[in-house]
Amino acid sequence: MAPVLFYFFAIMTLVFAVAVVANRNPVASALSLVVSFLGLAALFVGLDAYFIAVIQVLVYAGAVMVLFLFIIMLLDLRAEERRRVNIFAFVGGGLVAVAFVAQIWMVLQRFEAGKTAFLPLPAERIDDVRNVGRILFSTHNLPFQVIGVLILVATIGVVVLSKRELK
Amino acid sequence: MDFFFQLPWWLIVTSLAKTIFLIFLVVLPMVSYTVYAERRVSALIQDRLGPNRTGFPLTLLGFKKDFSPGLGGLGQPIADAVKFLLKEDFVPGHVNKLYFWLAPCLAMMPAIVTLAAIPFGSYLFGEKMVVADINVGLLFMFAISSVGVYGIVLAGWSSNSKYPFLGGIRSTSQMISYELAMGLSAVPVLLICGSTGLGAITDYQVREGWLLVPFTDGGLSLREVLLWIPLVLAFITFSISMFAETNRLPFDLPESETELVAGYHTEYSSMKFALFFLGEYTAMIAGSALIVVLFLGGWHLPLIPNGANQGGLEFLHAIPAWIWGIVNITVFFAKVAVLLFIFIWVRWTLPRFRFDQLMKLGWLYLFEIALVNIFLTAGILAFTK
């Protein structure tokens, strides 16, 4: 990926990520998050990780955020736009963010492997759907199945809770 | 500027040429003539005539008469487009301006972007006839078309009035539910072909016979006969989900005229309305193209060689390869046109579903059938070799 494209999509991701927090209108926030996700997906494409990029769009931009937007629209949140900025929360949150960025900076300074450029992969190794599947079902088989059970439990929980509401 | 000269120029030029050819010379004319076909076929089904007068306006160029070949009314799409462009672009006062403007673009763009992954031909002058031959083509199409929901949701929400809002809500829940059934019903195809790339799926069908018509490679093995059962099921569930996904009748609840005036685009006029229309029909074409690639062998026709003069009958290799390349492209879009005709045929034949019936069909039948189908296919693949 050309560096220009990388910077373009990185800046797009960051600007819209800030817009998620800065916007007062919840619908605008949700849409900014979608654009941010799309930028992130483009960065994955730049790393030849097509599968992850597509799943990023399919799951987050295409399904999760649609549900978010759906709920926001149904609730019609007007209160958010009238709320005043709480100075202490603003400063506190800003400090946490700065501390986090500083930490990442320090860790990255010590990350020696990140300083050398990654060798270009041979074309036959980039069939990432196959690679991800291989690793998921061999090395990480147990965690994968545990997550499956977890999601099943959560699904049943949702069904039980929403049924109770109806009565 | 330095990076500009490092880019592979040839790749950019060919990609641009293919994109322009696909969108402006094939798909958009196809969209306008699908609208025309929709009106003529509906008229045929309802025993009317439909638009049969408008010819190509040669009088504008100084000729004595307009040119009106064959069927008549073939100039109608041009007249429609001119009308859409010249109509007053009225924006009601109560709408949320920014999103009201954004929504038609968001409805149109994803439908066009999905076309990038479709292999619409074999080779032409040594070039692969696909804009982006990525190994996750099918997932790419699902992902981008799922982004298309935003256009409709935003149109419904930003219009700030009741019927569009209801239409937008309906459309969202409909598309989310049917995406699942659609994705799952395509999994058997992926299991059989062993790839999510649309090019690889087409290549498999060129070698082994079309998935829905498995005898096109000459013979039938036991495995192919057994796999036929899940594949026909997959084809049916996939096609039904595609109807729901593209908001076509019998599932056009988001814009059902009898209940919601015109659904999410009630407040839109002129070109903005036309963009929703274009988006819907482009999505229809992309959907039909996907069905063709997954089940009907893509650009392949038995006995016809591909654009590099491989396969097919021996004596046909005497004809230059580029002719076969063009034949392949024509075959692909002919298959798409047949599917589009079926889309139209179904629309003017079946009555509309009720919304709860629609949801029930999606979640209680199609989803389960698709899920069982995956296990069936995997079982057959595991036990027959």
Regarding an ipTM greater than 0.85, the answer is no
> Could you read off the pLDDT of B235-244 as tens digits, one per residue?
999 998 888 8
Count CA atoms within 13 Å of residue B48 on its CB side: 11
Indicate if the alpha-carbon torsion angle A145, B234, B146, B331 is positive or negative: positive
**Predicted pLDDT at B1:** 41
Q: Is B143 on the interface with A (CB under 8 A)?
A: yes
For strand B127-128 and strand B123-124, is the pairing parallel, antiparallel, or unpaired?
antiparallel
For A129, which of B3, B168, B196 is closest by C-beta distance? B196
**Distances, alpha carbon B360 to alpha carbons A160, B355, B364, B367, in Å:** 19, 9, 5, 10
> Could you read off the pLDDT of B121-134 as tens digits, one per residue?
777 777 777 888 78
- Please name the amino acid found at residue B163: Y
**Distances, alpha carbon B247 to alpha carbons A30, A71, A165, B171, B338, in Å:** 24, 22, 31, 8, 19
Per DSSP, the residues of A81-112 read HHPPP-HHHHHHHHHHHHHHHHHHHHHHHH-G
Q: A92: distance to nearest CA of chain B, Å?
A: 33
| Subunit contact B169:A127, Cβ cutoff 8 A | no
Using alpha carbons, select from B153, B187, B193 the residue that is nearest to residue B173: B153
B3: pLDDT confidence band, cut at 50, 70 and 90? low
Indicate if the alpha-carbon torsion angle B309, B310, B315, B316 is positive or negative: negative
**Distances, alpha carbon B193 to alpha carbons A13, A59, B204, B209, B224, in Å:** 36, 24, 6, 11, 13
Angstrom distance (rounded) from CA B71 to CA B38: 14
* CA A57 centroid distance within chain: 10
- How crowded is residue B129: how many other Cβ atoms within 10 Å of its Cβ? 24
Q: B264: distance to nearest CA of chain A, Å?
A: 14
Query: Which residues are CB-neighbours of B185 under 8 A, at least 6 positions away?
Result: B233, B234, B237, B238, B241, B366, B369, B370, B373
Residue A50 has pLDDT above 60, yes or no: yes
**Predicted pLDDT at A96:** 94
What 8-state DSSP symbol labels residue A25? S
Q: What does the block give as tokens for B275?
A: 């963009």
| Sequence spans of domains, chain B | 90-383
Query: Which residues are CB-neighbours of B75 under 8 A, at least 6 positions away?
Result: B54, B55, B56, B57, B66, B67, B68
**Distances, alpha carbon A135 to alpha carbons A31, A141, A150, B260, in Å:** 34, 8, 20, 49
> Could you read off the pLDDT of A95-153 as tens digits, one per residue?
999 999 999 999 988 887 777 777 776 666 667 788 888 888 888 999 999 999 999 99
Q: Which of residues B329 and B10 earns the better pLDDT score?
A: B329
> Could you read off the pLDDT of B372-382 as tens digits, one per residue?
999 998 888 88
For B147, which of A51, A61, A128 is closest by C-beta distance? A61
| Chain A partners within 8 Å of B169 (Cβ) | 70, 73-74
Angstrom distance (rounded) from CA A129 to CA A55: 11
> Could you read off the pLDDT of A66-105 as tens digits, one per residue?
888 888 877 766 666 677 778 888 899 889 999 999 999 9
| Subunit contact A34:B150, Cβ cutoff 8 A | yes
| Subunit contact B153:A73, Cβ cutoff 8 A | yes
CA Rg value for chain B: 22
Q: A70: distance to nearest CA of chain B, Å?
A: 7
